[in-house]
Structure 1
């Protein structure tokens, strides 16, 4: 793919900055970057950390590209102070990261002080640097001992998650700006239990539906503990979302796009915001309706303070028959190294559609947006021009949605660091910061330097 030519710049910040009249430039708008525990921490055998489903999955031949694992990853567990210094150098308002559940509790549910102390040090380091903490409780690294008892197919796991949320919100109260219960329950349920691409690697539409229900139930059950233990913090959940577009302007293809959005978006958002699953979902998923106990939906739809949205691309769909759709891969469009189409307009379209659809839509944060690109392997200057253009165009799309009345209050770029990209190992690089995984040297890419310049100019203005 041909990279865009270097632009003529008034300042480096012009590479990524939102439009001059964007509401994103207001001081109260939060800019940040994100990571997750298994993707960066390493130290999987240290200080009492238990095995996770991703440790087991990575150890299973054929599951992860080249057999790579998160055993070392970015070695953030030992290099966290240097990484916080990078956050400070970038001038970020907030840092979104996750806690490793296997690091903070033993099999009996008792606290592991050594693991908890790591997060206390991390949070104190953020506070010293004036950076707010957006903390995710579950970013997919379920303790393996819970998976051995059924994982998210076992309703008891929702209660164990509530115990975990209760412990962490008591231990870390006063240090956290915002709690997230789950990151992307769609991925945890469908990729983990439906198509087997992620840990724990099950392949069953019925299992995916039941896992989703228990993930959402755990979210609702955990909210009262989070509110009681840390009342000054906000509580929410993060969903990965994508707009669907019809391949042709036929009724069948328009219906296919609607079915995709039911599968991708409404499967998660309808229970949270309407207290019900979309009825057509179970026809789409081959009679995979989960077991739902009385009162579950009331628990799941408990109010949240915010909804995080992770946006990367769109889907183009064509009909494959009644209640079926196929993805269409259009040629000659810009793509990332994940083979995802770059389509910034999709962000605006989706934000405005959700704003119309959901009466109870809470304030929104873009909790992940970014791209995997070929940045080069050297730890010298990394001029990631495609990422720079990607960020700038998506900032503009978000700005247009905000101008049209959508309540977006913050934006987190994914990811702070190149890291372990799940089943793709270390091949796909999403970071603002280049990581040499042999030496662990960090190098700020040009996108990061431009982001920092924009934030400095905003602060000075």
Structure 2
């Protein structure tokens, strides 16, 4: 890698991220059913009908995985808690096995010099709450806050940071509008309500954590650089609409107490009654904002109802997800966000790429991933030099894992996982990052 830790300001933090359902093995530790289990059990929803029942078996192998994270020289280990592992019914008394697992995980991270960065919810909703309407039901907000209080009571004295929800856009839009994530709906009314209730749940959880004495609290939003795919007014409008829904909807709610007009044009009639009165809760003060960035999107106008847009492939090289490799999009986002957040500390909480990583002679030469990370770290360094208050960068992901509706086919990890034997093999990108972060020469 071109990048070295010394290229960044003193105190800049590097980390890696994972999520519970994608790596732990949901069949273990007394976890209850989730809406991802039922979504995957429905024919046609997930490649190979694969689930997170075993995943990477991180539940039993967490010590080995944390050794890998520490061995790469990372400062931060970003992880999530499984709601259904801690509260199998989504409410009520916690499952001791679940809390004990995360207790061991946090202690093991600290013992290796890693700062535990909690994401409370990363997409696996307990099935009993899904039965009650899930994120489309306003009652989900106090339920998440209750879950957050349970986790804070057990882990809060040792967490470095905490955020309530990972990537609200994915939960609302992929799960409720496009139907490609659990719960698999294609319903604009459910989309609008889920988006608003995620934000309400975020605000109630932050307030509960503050009351419990928890600090260093943030939010984690995903961003894509929205570009017109054609030089005409329709494409410009399509890109602006996509930008309003994907990038600005949650950002404006958290930091300005409203929603963009271009998003309200379609979602407004479907928002829950009295939504305007919830922003005092939604705008709970934060200590940092996390930015997840992977790619850009090119948009054109399309016939049909709102939002009246379609995606078009672009000219840049693609990852194994078919996503364009567009580092300049991260530059755009890092310039956009401070206009809302001011001098609030920012972290890139996810950045990485899927590649067709194949083991040859016992090694994985993922030079494409090394180039991707270098290019985006160049952008991060330039943003800092321009005055952006960026304080850290985290790679998605430590391990190859369950990639939701794509099953186990797409590999984002710095560490290769053989999903038959579960053997871990660090890739060339892992070794390159370790040299960059630790100064080792081998």
Q: CA deviation at 1:100?
A: 0.3
Residue aligning to 1:69:
51
In 1, the alpha carbon distance for the partners of 2:319 and 2:341 equals 34
Residue aligning to 2:319:
336
Q: 1:458 to 1:272 in 2, by over 3 A?
A: farther
Residue aligning to 1:165:
148
Residue by residue, what CA displacement relative to the aligned partner does 1:329-354 show, whole Å, maximum 9, x if unpaired? 124x2000100000111111221122
In 1, the alpha carbon distance for the partners of 2:361 and 2:416 equals 7
Question: Given the alignment, which residue of 164, 181, 201 partners 2:164?
Answer: 181
Counterpart check, 1:242 vs 2:224 = yes
Residue aligning to 2:138:
155
Residue aligning to 1:29:
12
Counterpart check, 1:304 vs 2:286 = yes
Residue by residue, what CA displacement relative to the aligned partner does 1:338-394 show, whole Å, maximum 9, x if unpaired? 0000011111122112223x1556211100000000111458111101000000000
Residue aligning to 2:260:
278
Residue aligning to 2:207:
224
In 1, the alpha carbon distance for the partners of 2:189 and 2:263 equals 12
In 2, the alpha carbon distance for the partners of 1:215 and 1:379 equals 46
Residue aligning to 1:454:
436
In 2, the alpha carbon distance for the partners of 1:197 and 1:305 equals 33
In 1, the alpha carbon distance for the partners of 2:88 and 2:353 equals 36
Counterpart check, 1:112 vs 2:112 = no
Question: Contact 2:46 / 2:406 at 8 angstroms: preserved in 1?
Answer: yes
SS of match in other structure, 1:179:
strand
Q: 1:380 to 1:458 in 2, by over 3 A?
A: closer
Report which stretch shifted further, 322-331 or 93-102.
322-331
In 1, the alpha carbon distance for the partners of 2:302 and 2:69 equals 47
Structure 1, unaligned runs of 5 or more? 1-14
Question: Contact 1:16 / 1:447 at 8 angstroms: preserved in 2?
Answer: no
SS of match in other structure, 2:224:
coil
Q: CA deviation at 1:193?
A: 1.2
Q: With CA pairs under 8 Å and 6+ residues apart, which has the higher RCO, 1 or 2? A: 1
Alignment RMSD? 2.0
Residue by residue, what CA displacement relative to the aligned partner does 1:47-88 show, whole Å, maximum 9, x if unpaired? 321111111111111110011111100000010111111112
In 2, the alpha carbon distance for the partners of 1:176 and 1:208 equals 32
Q: Where does 1:189-268 land on structure 2 (aligned, <5 Å)?
A: 189-231=172-214, 233-268=215-250
Q: 1:19 to 1:317 in 2, by over 3 A?
A: farther
Question: Given the alignment, which residue of 321, 324, 329 partners 2:308?
Answer: 324
SS of match in other structure, 2:105:
helix
Residue aligning to 2:425:
443
In 2, the alpha carbon distance for the partners of 1:166 and 1:325 equals 41
Q: 1:310 to 1:172 in 2, by over 3 A?
A: same
In 2, the alpha carbon distance for the partners of 1:158 and 1:286 equals 20
Structure 2, unaligned runs of 5 or more? none
Q: CA deviation at 1:456?
A: 0.8
Residue by residue, what CA displacement relative to the aligned partner does 1:169-201 show, whole Å, maximum 9, x if unpaired? 111121100001000011011111111100111
Question: Given the alignment, which residue of 344, 348, 360 partners 2:331?
Answer: 348
In 2, the alpha carbon distance for the partners of 1:47 and 1:346 equals 40
